[in-house]
Amino acid sequence: MSHTPIFDTHAHYTSHQFDADRADLLHTLPRQGVVGVVDCAVDYATSLACLELAEQYPFVYAALGIHPESLIEETASTVAQFQGDWNAELRSIAALFDNKKAVAVGECGLDYHWPVPKEEQLAMFEAHLKLARELDKPIIVHDRKAHADVYDLLKRYQPQGVVHCFSGSAEDAQMLTKQGMYIGFGGALTFKGAKRAVKAATAIPLEQIVLETDCPYMAPEPCRGHRCDSGLIAHTAAFLAEIRGISVQEVLTVTTQNAQRLFGV
């Protein structure tokens, strides 16, 4: 399956799951139609690594920030290097935005699935919203079982950005897009039982949808369970085209334009 243009707004190519073949894989992506990838950091160490990838590959851009799970992840620099002082970590990350390939703040947000201290993640997400405002950059938002608190902060700060791997309702999606946010859909949209996501993906303008992988995770059907990469967005795009009753070409063209507009690339 080869389609173009594909813009992957959420990838993790710095993941250890790509250690064996990262360079080989990234070199093949343009041939699969991939014109852009935003690689998302989860802490300081991956912020440096994402920027390094972005410097090596013209089509790769970086989002820099601290994922809420990093607060309790022993191997994350939040714990291992900064001993939980995420304020200091975020200051170190903010300094990296001198680099032109740093196009967004994130991934950041709220995760109420894992036992991450709630007050701390709320404060950290708010600090990212303030940083995005200061830098005038879009934000990449992680929202897992935390819709009310995420929407509340987005309403308060009115950032530009994406709610990635969207899991809210159609009404939520409409509320967010009216506020100017983009909604990110990935492989999960194609999973059996993703009726809620399908409703959301058909309730909002195509002009505010962006596609993503969250690779190495979340490979779309029919590749579910395998390691994901940006080329597989072709499947997610085909699925979105089918449920919206339009062509794959239109889905890919418009969602790529959306991503380029949002990230200014």
Least Å from the CB of residue 73 to Zn ion: 13
Q: How do beta strands 34-40 and 60-64 pair?
A: parallel
| Interface characters, 206-245, with Zn ion (x: CB under 5 A) | --------x-------------------------------
Helix (H) or strand (E) holding 39: strand 34-40
Distance CA 242, CA 233 (A): 14
Distance CA 242, CA 236 (A): 10
Least Å from the CB of residue 2 to Zn ion: 25
Q: What is the signed CA dihedral for 107, 175, 235, 144, rounded to 10 degrees? A: 40
Least Å from the CB of residue 117 to Zn ion: 20
Least Å from the CB of residue 255 to Zn ion: 18
| Interface characters, 87-116, with Zn ion (x: CB under 5 A) | ------------------------------
Q: Which is nearer to Zn ion, 43 or 214 (CB)?
A: 214
- Asked whether 110 and 150 are in contact (CB, 8 A), the reply is yes
How many other CB atoms sit within 10 Å of the CB of residue 15? 17
Q: Which is nearer to Zn ion, 101 or 142 (CB)?
A: 142
Query: How big is the site for Zn ion, counted in residues (CB under 5 A)?
Result: 1
Q: How many residues does the chain have?
A: 265
Q: How far is CA 188 from CA 89, 117, 150, 197, 211, in A?
A: 31, 27, 20, 8, 11
Q: Which is nearer to Zn ion, 190 or 205 (CB)?
A: 190
Least Å from the CB of residue 156 to Zn ion: 23
Q: How far is CA 22 from CA 14, 45, 84, 194, 216, in A?
A: 8, 17, 30, 30, 11
Q: Which is nearer to Zn ion, 223 or 243 (CB)?
A: 223
Least Å from the CB of residue 249 to Zn ion: 27
Q: Which is nearer to Zn ion, 144 or 244 (CB)?
A: 144
Q: Which is nearer to Zn ion, 181 or 250 (CB)?
A: 181
Q: Which residue is nearest to Zn ion (CB)?
A: 214
Distance CA 248, CA 49 (A): 33
Name the residues that contact Zn ion, by CB under 5 A. Answer: 214
